[in-house]
Each structure stands twice: as C-alpha cells, then as structure tokens.
A and B are shown apart, each in its own frame.
Chain A
Amino acid sequence: MTYESAFAELDKIYQQINNEEVSVDLLAEKVKRAAVLIEFCQARLRSTEDEVNKIIEGMPGTGD
C-alpha cells in the first residue's frame, strides 16, 4: 500500500460517510478501515518527514 492509495481510499470513505452513502450495516466496518488507513498515513508521513529532515540537514550549503 502506498501513501497515495491509502489516502485516496480514506478520502473516498470520508466522502461516502459525509454524503451518507454508507449503509449503517457497513458503517462500523468502514470506520474501522478508516482508522487503519489513518494510522498508516500518519506513520508514513512521520517517517518520511524524519527522513527528509535528516537528508536536508545532511546537504552541504543548504541555508534552509
């Protein structure tokens, strides 16, 4: 699973819920799936950010 596919799925679930297109029977299942996706995305973001910061700090002459 990539960040983009995870986020796309998450966004879709959100839209469905927001537009009340999810039947109550499936709602719990969807929210559970959303929680998994959120956790995945957050983990990916955090690890990427750490990695990027490390790389940028390692660059010579980067004034940023």
Chain B
Amino acid sequence: MHTYLTLQQLLLNIQGELRQAFPASYWIKAELAGVRRVGNHVYFELLQISSGQKVAQIKGTAFYNEGARAIQTFEQVTGQKFTEGIKVGLRASVNFHPVYGLSLNLLELDAELTIGGIELQRKQTLELLLRNQPEYLSIRDGSYITPNSLLPLPAVIQKVAVITSPTSDAYADLTHCLNTNDYEYRFHADLYESLVHGYNAAQSVQESLDRVLNSGKQYDVVVLTRGGGAPADFLPFDDYDLALKIARYPIPVITGIGHQMNQGIADFFARVHMKTPTMAAQFMIDHNHQFEKKLNYLLAAINRRALSVLSDKKNRFMMLRSRFGSSTREVLHHKRYQLHYVKSNLYPASFRLVKNEDAKVLMKSTQIGFRIPFYFGAAQKNLSHLKEHIQSLSPERLLQRGFAMIRKEGQYVTGAMLAAGDDIEIVLQNDILEATINKKKER
C-alpha cells in the first residue's frame, strides 16, 4: 500500500523547503519579456539569453505594494518603460505557490543598470553613426553638428508639420498651446500621424518624415513629439536610421519626446531639442516673440531717430532763418564797403599816377636843363678847334711860314696852268717878284 500525500501537501512541503533554502532576496540580471498588467499587479517573464540561446526562464511577479511601486519608480528615473526587450537588474525573492508555481517576486529594480545599458547601446549607435557618416556628423564642443542642426530657423515660425500619435495628448497639447498664446500669434499646424511608442515607432516616424517632404507644402519646422506625462521608452529615438534621417532632414526639426533624464540620439541630431509638446510649442511662440521684440525695437529706434532728425533739421532751419536777414545785410554791407573802398581810392590813385608822371617829366626837363651848359661848352670848344684849324690853312699864315703863291695875269694858278715862257708874279709875305719861266720839267 502506498502512502499518499495530497498534492497540496507535497507542494506545501516544497514551498517550505524552498523558503528554508532561499530565505533572503537576491540581485539578478535578466531580460524582460511578456509584460502584462492585471489590475494593480504586473506579470512578466525573465529570460537569460546566451549566444542567442535561451538558457534560463522564469515567471516574475510585481505585486501592488512593493513591486508595482518599484516599476513606477524605475520608469520615472530611467525614462524607460518596463517593457519587453530591456535588460534589468532586479532584487527578487523566490516564491513558490501551490497553484501558481515557481516565480520570482520583484522587490526592487536597479535603475542604474538599465540606464547604463541604454546609454551603452546609445553610445555604440552614436559611435557607429559617426564612423559611418562622417560627411554628415561631427562633434564640436561636446555637441553634435548635423546638417539639420545647422539649418537656419525662419525669422517667424508659422507653418508647422507635427509628427505624433493621434491617440496621445501631444497633438492636442501642442495645438492648444500654439492657439492660445498670449501674443495671439497665428500658427498653421498639420498633423502627420505616426506611431511614437514601441518597436515600430522608428520606422513609422521615418515614413511620416517622408510624407511631410512629399506633401509639397513649405513647412517652417517639423515638430516630432509624443504624449507628455507617462514615462516612455527611448529606444525608437536611439534608432540608427531614424537618427540619420533627422540629421540629414532639410526642414529644421524640433523634438519634444518627453525624456525625463536624458536625450536620445534623435534629440542630439535635431535643430532644437525640447522635452515636451508644450515646451516645443512655447519655443516657437518665444521664437516669434523674439522677432516681434526686434521689430518693436526697430520701430522705436526708427521713431526716435526720425524725431531727432526732424528736430535737428528744424533747429537748423530756425537758426538759419533767424540769421538770414542779418547775414544778407552783412553781405550787402561788405559789398558796399568794398565798392566804397575801390571808389574812394580809385580817383586819388589816378591823380597820383598823373602826378607821378608829371614829376617824371619835370625831372627830365631839369636833367635836360642841367645838361645844356655842358653841351654848349663842348660845341664852343669844337668850334674854336675848327676855327684854329681853318685859320692855320689861310694864305697869310702860309706866306708867313715862307711859302709863295704864283699869279699869272692877275690870277692865282697851279703848276698845270703854267708853261715855259709865261710871265708870272711870285707873291711873298711882303714882296711881289715879277719873273719869266725859263723851263718847265717834271718833278
């Protein structure tokens, strides 16, 4: 005869043994799968994958009090949803229930491990992106430089393409904020529906970005956003392809993805990173307000300048007008003085000129008078010289010096008029000799 235990008895024994063998709680690293929320409790599977092979699996439970609160805290701290596919570090107690079997009861989650895991993965993706796409991506002063991050924002943002889930509050929050802004700026926002949570979100957002470009509308910015409030997973926004698409996107991208702790790669590569839809809307409102402030400043500056120019011109005009009469009279007075000066000096100058000429004439005449005695003296001298010379040539003087003159028939003659046999008179100083020429010969 067999001794039977009831099933419950056996399982209670196992439960007792296990409690003795594993009395404490333990820190375990595992991957999450099959997360279900039932009421206030959360059920899930914990897996260990090694070289692609599942090497361990167990049910996990998080009960309303400790476990569910640990999950809530974990999601708030990491910004990562407690969901399939993530690696977690958890403290759990071993639990065996006669009906529900073996499970690990979650007591505490290690946020640091998950953050570290997410960050490690993000870091690896970023490194890969930088290595593969150096023509688009670079780091300067710790910030990522992408073509999108360098796009200029228009002075005023008005046409907005919003990529988000229609079931989240993001679109409503964003448009409400845009439409009720204090400055009454008008925005035109178009919704481009997209998944923003879960595995397919990265692909869906990329398709929405393509639809924005293909719409043919000229958008000032694209706002990529999702519902605020609930903690959400980063993973889609750390996606390699989505990040690269945003980096190269030709329209400035503003993100409002709701990360509590960190930024995703999509945030790094976008033109503007904001945390929530409301903050993204506020950024655009503030941006436009900056422009309006600039306009108002210019307006005030132009008014000030115009008024100052006007008053300056007016002052100068008043001054000119008040001086006009006196200046004109001054000029006339000066002209009159000039004319008077010339007039009063002209006639005296003319007379002076005549007088000077007169003086010159007088001087000439005096000079001439002075010269006349000398002139006559010299002439007198010349005359007496001449007289003496002439006197020295007179016949009397010649006869005195012993010369003789010959006369024939009462006339004084020269040798040519005489011939042999002529009767002549030889006239001396005191005597006359009568003679006959015997002979005539050549001298």
Contact = CB atoms under 8 A, between A and B. Distances in A.
Contacts of B321: 59, 61-62
A63 B319 CA distance: 11
Given A24-B357, A38-B342, A14 B325 contact: no
A42 B339 contact: yes
B346 A17 contact: yes
A34 B346 contact: yes
B322 A18 contact: no
Main secondary structure of the interface of A (DSSP, over half): helix
A19 to B, nearest CB: 9
A31 B356 contact: no
B339 A7 contact: yes
B186 to A, nearest CB: 52
Nearest to B339: A41
A36 interface: no
The 4 closest A-B pairs by CB, nearest first: A64-B325, A56-B325, A17-B349, A18-B349
Contact of B324 (A7, A13, A38, A64): A64
Contacts of A20: 353, 356
**Among B323, B324, B346: residue with most chain A CB under 10 A:** B346
Given A31-B346, A62-B324, A52 B353 contact: no
B347 interface: yes
Contacts of A14: 342, 345-346, 349
A5 interface: no
Contacts of B414: none
Contact of A52 (B329, B339, B346, B350): B329
Contact of A13 (B329, B346, B357): B346
Contact of A63 (B322, B345, B347, B349): B322
Contacts of B326: 64
Interface of A: 3, 7, 10-11, 13-14, 17-18, 20, 22, 24, 27, 30-31, 34, 38, 41-42, 45, 48-49, 52, 56, 59, 61-64
A8 to B, nearest CB: 11
A52 B349 contact: no
Interface stretch (B213-221, B253-261, B330-338, B422-430): B330-338
Given A10-B342, A59-B325, 12 more contacts: A7-B338, A14-B349, A22-B353, A24-B353, A24-B357, A27-B353, A38-B346, A45-B339, A56-B324, A59-B324, A61-B321, A64-B324
Contact of B353 (A17, A34, A63): A17
A3 B357 CA distance: 33
Nearest to B335: A45
A64 B328 CA distance: 11
Contacts of A24: 353-354, 357
A13 B339 CA distance: 13
Given A56-B324, A62-B324, A49 B357 contact: no
Given A7-B338, A38-B343, A63-B322, A56 B350 contact: no
B306 to A, nearest CB: 25
Contacts of A48: 332
